Amino acid sequence: MKTPLSKNEEANIRVGQQMTLTIKSLGINGEGIGYFKRKIVFVDKALPGEVIHAEVTEVRERYATARLLRIVERSAARTTPPCPVYAECGGCSLQHMDYQAQLASKQEIVVESLRKYAKLDNPPVAPTIGMDHPWGYRNKAQFQVGKQNGKLVAGLYQAGSHKLVGLESCQVQHEATTKIVQATRDILEELRIPAYDERKRTGVVRTIVARVAFVTGEAQVTLVTATPDIPRVKELILELRTRLPELIGISQNVNAQKTSVVFGDKTVTLWGKPSIAEKLGELSFDLSARAFFQLNPEQTKKLYDQVKQAAGLTGTELVLDLYCGTGTIGLWLAPYAREVRGIELIPEAVEDARRNAARNGAANASFHVGRAEVLMPKWAKQQGIRPDVVVVDPPRTGLDDALIRSLLQVKPKKIVYVSCNPSTLAKDMARMLGTYELVSVQPVDMFPHTAHVEVTVRLERKDTVQ
């Protein structure tokens, strides 16, 4: 039975109510956070320090959301977004905020998460590492295709809706990916190859996926289709090759399911090579149409260097790379370690990781299919193999409960935690800080003009801390 709120605490907020709020901070989705009679109110596009007038659009037990009507006192960090469709498109959430202020807010989001969930009064969070030029950083574009006013459009869905916003340009995409998407859309329209209509479940093309390698300049385009056959496919290939000479491969992925997931299981090469070559520092990678690769190569190098610094390798250590994906972090660390072992649940990713290891001559790196919470204690028990350093790079949901128990059982000297979600990171820290000491926390801005922040955390076992 819930205890009723006192009259002082009760916030009788209703939908349609208008209110004046002072915005205190940014939320994890980039929305402004204010308080009305102790109740949190989220206001999209409002900035910390602003006094705003807003209208309530939704009321929940613990919070309300409101629409920004008017800025009474404007933040000095407020800026004019360069994107003409910023208000409609769901791709970015912070273009209205000065970039240096974005970096400071991301640091504050990490600090507040650790205070709230890990109960740390003064967590050692360093300033966010940003970009010198925070535009044109995305190496892959996944633009949905649809029909609007009789014309074929390619773009992104409006935030919180299923309305497609056509994009002629995109400031955060590498210009080569935008060019490929636009040219592909034009060709599809000229050849009258129909877009897929998910309501009627008719048509062919669902998504145009363009990827460019920043270092080599090689590019690929993948058409995600609802049908195995593409009408006039030979003409389509010829036109793509003629207008986009930078392409070295054209692929088709078939996804007939009623789903918001972009890719289906089957991919075929229509022309050229099935993958493009990319470099990250000294490492080389072959990227097939569905292969995972970080979307911001410039910041990825900075992130991985922070992982390397946190690991503090001397060449004698056994490193376990958990949730290793295609092996990029493990291979980045391999030259500085005695041995690296990666563990990943997805067999295709492990195959990619093994190919990447062979391609880069990393003889001391091996990759294994399985659950880390099973393999790590099994190796410790049966082979006496105990890691010196464990690197974890989990999904947004954080570490599996069983894996945290396994880490606390195996007790590596150091744990380097790479997180894309400060809330789940802090909740996981709360469970590990009895055994480990939090030595450093380094935010890295992988996605400028969005609320996302990547974090590298260094934990050291308390009995080894000097």
Active site residues: 420
CA distances (Å), origin 87, targets 36, 157, 260, 332, 410: 26, 12, 23, 39, 49
Burial 412-425 (b: 16+ CB within 10 A, else e): bbbbbbbbbbbbbb
Closest CA relative to residue 300, chosen from 139, 179, 153, 116: 139
Q: Six-digit token pair at 371?
A: 């659950």
Give the Cα separation of 226 and 231 in Å (integer). 12
**Secondary structure of 376-409 in the HEC alphabet?**
HHHHHHHCCCCCCEEEECCCCCCCCHHHHHHHHH
**CB-count exposure of residue 333 (10 Å: 0-12, 13-18, 19+):** buried
Give the Cα separation of 70 and 78 in Å (integer). 14
Give the Cα separation of 272 and 274 in Å (integer). 7
Beta bridge partners of 267: 253
Pairing of strands 25-26, 32-36: antiparallel
Alpha-helical regions (H) of 142-276:
175-190, 233-243
Tell me, what DSSP letter sits at residue 434?
Answer: T
Give the Cα separation of 3 and 134 in Å (integer). 48
Tell me, what DSSP letter sits at residue 158?
Answer: B
Q: Helices H, strands E: what count in the chain?
A: 9, 22
